[in-house]
Amino acid sequence: DPAPDARLLHDDEHELPRAAFADLPRVHQEVLHLRFVEELDHAAIAARLEATEQAARQRVYRAMQALRALTQQRQLGLDNP
């Protein structure tokens, strides 16, 4: 079973998170792709980004926070003026 956060990027039922993903900054998209599409662990992400493992964990966490925030905004209709 994929992790719950990974399903956000794969499930057809989650159109909002996928649409929000497209609006994320490129750096967030990259780290989420590495974690949930390529299914790399934090150590492998750190190596790929030439960063520490702790920095990789923080980047994944911040990217997920941003994705959740954008998704919630879309759910509430706050993305349309």
Does the pLDDT at position 12 exceed 50?
Answer: no
Q: If you average pLDDT over every residue of the chain, what do you get?
A: 83
The amino acid that residue 31 corresponds to is: V
Distances (CA, A) of 72 to 15, 19, 60: 12, 12, 18
Does the pLDDT at position 18 exceed 70?
Answer: yes
What are the pLDDT digits (tens) for 23-59?
Answer: 999 999 999 999 999 999 999 999 999 999 999 999 9
